[in-house]
Amino acid sequence: MLNFFLLLQADSTQVQQSFGVQNFVNIILGSGTFGIIIVLLQLVLSFLAVVIFVERYRAIKKAGQIDQNFMNNIRNHVQSGNIQAARALCQSTDTPVARMVEKGLQRIGKPLRDIDAAIENVGNLEVFKLEKNLSTLASVSGSAPMLGFLGTVTGMILAFFNMSTAQNITPSLLASGIYQALITTAFGLGVGIFALIGYNLLVSNIDKVIFQMEQSTIEFMDFLQEPSN
């Protein structure tokens, strides 16, 4: 039994040393032409996922930054009858809430139902802007692992084909197909996991911004119905 564990430890050490010597790029190149193509496609998808995530994260974070005194200042301007000052404040504030409130200020004097409908329409447009390219990120999270599984299937087909056509079966004969199967799967899962986590994080942040938009809309409609001093 002791000799068995010593043998396992020696084999493990040998595998670690060989993997350390083996360059990762050489492993990819050893996966064959189709495997290289799949890995390149997955690298493109990973770059696309990173770009979309960073751009959307910054945009959504900026949209969620609201001055705590913004609505109080709007309230003071409206109650004092200075609608132009309230609109100027909205125009100088680059947030979805400010654009929604500005649309409501433009409709002051009309029935409250019309004001609410106008604000809701602007809100829908703002949500659409926030969700820009999220469907692409979701597609990456699904397509990258599928590409990996495609590489797995074609790699195993290649390995068994080499086995069926060769007279002497050696590890090097099967290496190309196995490399392709494992490398493409690993890349696909890695890209898919990152894209899925990024997508869910962005959706969660968008939900927070939508809550702020709804809360500000309710507050705006409430103080429109308050009696003037």
Region 164-190 average pLDDT: 72
Assign 36 a pLDDT band (cuts: 50, 70, 90). confident
15-48 burial, b for 16+ CB within 10 Å, e for fewer? Answer: eeeeeeeeeeeeebebbbebbbebbebbeebbeb
Which residues have CB under 8 Å from 122's CB, separation 6+? 99, 100, 103
User: pTM for the full model?
Assistant: 0.77
Region 110-125 average pLDDT: 90
The span from the CA of 31 to the CA of 40, in Å, is 12
Assign 7 a pLDDT band (cuts: 50, 70, 90). very low
Q: Where does the chain have alpha helices with state H?
A: 2-21, 24-29, 32-63, 70-79, 83-91, 96-106, 112-130, 134-165, 171-224
Q: How much is the pLDDT for 10?
A: 46
pLDDT at 61 over 70: yes
pLDDT at 138 over 90: yes
Residue with more model confidence, 25 or 115? 115
Place of tokens 């002051």: 108
Q: How much is the pLDDT for 176?
A: 61
Cα angle for residues 188, 190, 194 (degrees, 5° grid): 115
Share of the chain above pLDDT 70, in %: 75
Q: What is the mean pLDDT of the chain?
A: 80
140-160 burial, b for 16+ CB within 10 Å, e for fewer? Answer: bbebbbebbebbbebbeebbe
Place of tokens 């949209």: 63
Q: How much is the pLDDT for 168?
A: 66
Share of the chain above pLDDT 90, in %: 34
The span from the CA of 206 to the CA of 189, in Å, is 25
